[in-house]
Amino acid sequence: ALRNRLGEPQGMVRLTMASAALSLTDAALWRATLWALLVAIALAVGIGLGLSTLVRRPLRRLAEAARAIAAGGRVERLDVRRQDELGELAAAFNTMGEQIARQLRENAEAYARLDEAYLETVTALAAAMEAKDHYTADHAASLAGMALAIGRRLGLGEEELRELNYAAILHDIGKIGVPGRILNKPGPLDTEEFAVMAQHTVIGEQIIENMEHLRPVARIVRSAHERYD
């Protein structure tokens, strides 16, 4: 509608177009829209995969480091280069790893001190046995040397060798409960005396099983005179 300055209608302009031309225009518009949509989807997928890879890689390293700590492996620091939430997570993990490593060192030192204390206890028990039976002390020392040599040849671990050493030193500790007249009798033991002497492995087991740190050794002491062959 054409109007004058006063807003009064002065005439009408009408534009006409063939319907075929309009259909072609609509089809071209739909094709352009579809291609634009496909390109946008492809770009979104590509960007998403790229971002996913950037996120997955540090998360995978974080998971591997956490599994290594859980398995008792060495605590390694993660290389923190990002300034986003993943970077903060890696930095927090490094802090946690340092605390765990420090705790592991402290625990190892405490365990070493505890093991040393128990070794002193074992030595004191062996000394008590030596005061009662001089043969036992020398015998235990030589037996421990032979047992450890065989244990190393068999490929035993450090923990097994430690228990084996304690068991060799303490295998006759139950003789503390055997009367001196039987223990140091110069001649052969009679049946009743032998039965009393045979109880020293059971007595030794009862003494040692009350010590939590040495409890695994008790069953070895109990079986010291068994002949499995």
The burial of 86, by beta-carbon neighbours within 10 Å (0-12 exposed, 13-18 middle, 19 or more buried), is given as middle
Residue-wise pLDDT for 200-219, tens only, equals: 999 989 988 887 778 889 99
| Alpha helix segments (H runs only) across 171-210 | 180-183, 191-198, 200-208
Cα 179 to its chain centre, rounded Å, is 48
What pLDDT is stored for residue 189 in this prediction? 92
Alpha carbon distance 53, 48 (integer Å): 9
The string of pLDDT tens digits covering residues 39-89 is 888 888 877 776 666 556 666 666 666 666 666 656 566 565 555 556 666
SS3 98: helix
Task: Give the range among 110-119, 153-162, 187-196, 220-229 with minimum mean pLDDT.
Answer: 110-119
Active site residue 132: no
Could you tell me the two tokens for 60? Answer: 């995978």
Q: Indicate the pLDDT class of residue 152, thresholds 50, 70 and 90.
A: very high
Structure tokens at 16: 């006409």
Rounded CA-CA distance 160/203 in Å is: 23
| Measured distance between the N- and C-terminal CA atoms of the chain, rounded to whole angstroms | 119
Torsions phi, psi of 9, nearest 5?
A: -65, 135
128, 176 Cβ separation under 8 angstroms: yes
Catalytic residue among 136, 140, 144, 175: 175
CA angle (208 as vertex; 186, 156 as ends), nearest 5:
100
What's the pTM? 0.50
